[in-house]
Structure 1
């Protein structure tokens, strides 16, 4: 008499539980035949055990954030991406345009086009590079643009106590301007969602000067936890990117308004990164770090090789996730064992980033960008990004104005100077 062993039934159940509905439809017919052929000689308890396992596991398992974090990338992330594409998402893009003709196309391709349901909010100071934002006419959903003339922010007593001017290029004022950029973008998001009468599920906060060398993947969206990159912590948390649901993001982006709470909690002399960590911990927001494929393109010069508290500047050609480390297009000056020697000499709690497995190559950033950097960038970024760079090198004011006018037709809220002023400041007559 044929009897299906309990061990076999358990194995089939485990197999079925890992399948989606479409795969299940493919396996039910042969399983049914097997059951039918064996039914006359199979004890009823074994048959009903098999039937129970098959149909109890027919539905895909409910999403669990802890399972998702610990799972391999096969299967679940694709399901989760489908869920993300059905969700409401805001991308908060902040900072000065600087080299946006280099970084902008990578943000469009690796963030905005990966999640075409995301609403883009741009918050940036008006300067001679702001005309470069005209390339955003290509984004899927341009929701709100605020380009403002920067003004001095009065420093309160609590801000002076809580924050430190040390290691900030523009002192406490520089921190306040940066915090104002970040929280101002949150206010833009709040205004829009109230007018539209809905709440965002996710907010991605990233910087204008971030260069992405691969897509932002679904596993970086973790319900109930705020995600930041590792490295470059300067005693706190890396604040160059943040991803979270609406509640965790609201705390993370409230850079100015939470300073009185930090003051009341006794925090003093915080830099941007330590203040960021203090915000999350005082509000009991859970956070985690994951490696993210972007870097911050910088024009600043740094000593080479970097000392214990120095700043390593990654070559844009580095193959691995750079987690928001400083970078530039350069001829590689340090790789392999050289990188190991440099990175092991740095203080891990300061300006440090992942470097193992050949993921990092370093520039000698002790001077200005080298001659011929354009060719290096084009080779790294590819033909599409190279064509954007070349177009902006020869962009005329008239073309710039036309692009901004096209953007204005699509945007929900435009709070910026006239396109003629934006383009004229950077491109002249």
Structure 2
């Protein structure tokens, strides 16, 4: 569109977009001293013509087009004209507004959370640091990250956390709440916040302890096992569900597992201390029953080219979403009835009811005994657990076939 074709002002969006450059730079009046500038190279921008306090006229740039739309430019121009009418220098007020915008950007929850994360790096291993930031980026920043942290209400935090609670990721919800509470504690002790909006929120949420995870009854377990074996969607997810039933490990441990941790000759999976989120302690040894090895070999055909057993679809260097197994159970019709973590409760119940030694069961679940006993009891009972978990896998096979006769071990 040529300048001569302009029919009305303020300039329409069609006009702004279609104005063609000339051999020389030109300005077209929009309204109220606001001009649209077009350079010979086609670059377009907004300028305000205003009178300085000394009575001289001057130009003030308001930003390039289309980054600054016509509507936005008119709002900025109106603010600056009002400043000029009050005897203020529009150039100074523009700089003050820009500084306020920068300050607001630095006062977002995401900015504060990243500062908190950086302050904790010296006390974390690399895996822990990555998991913490990953949880915040996945569950918090999309909803509240761009908000000023002082303006987020306790009610809004409750709503976000209850969303995670409803999704069944209770352990993750509990961790996210603790992370965010710590973020606000940093603001409070450094004088940038008076109150912590996450204080007391935990009283009205599930605790996130394993016993609170949904799981089917033993009577309904055979149907669930058969449903998993016939899962019609992603084959790697189906194999992941089978491994959760067989190994009684935490879903996060399986999702983040790497092929280098498995020794098929020794029939052993070694979960390193770093991936268990601790700097102290020791690795966790998981004996692999025959059925688990078969599932892993089948999975290796699908994902063996990558370091992770369950690489993400968009980024193969990161594991699948922490809701992947939960969503699969939902697709099978078990929403609210079974979670990935619930398989650990099922294993504990069956093994204890069939007379296996409690210490062996707790060792398989990687539970630490309370008090002094937990400090000094370093035995992993690997031989006993190998026998126990092979019995458990065979027992699940029998349950799935539907011809089990329950006989408790002596």
- Find the structure with the greater CA-based Rg: 2
Q: Is TM (by shorter chain) over 0.5?
A: no
Q: TM-score, normalised by structure 1?
A: 0.28
More helix by share: 2
Higher relative contact order (CA 8 A, sep 6+): 1
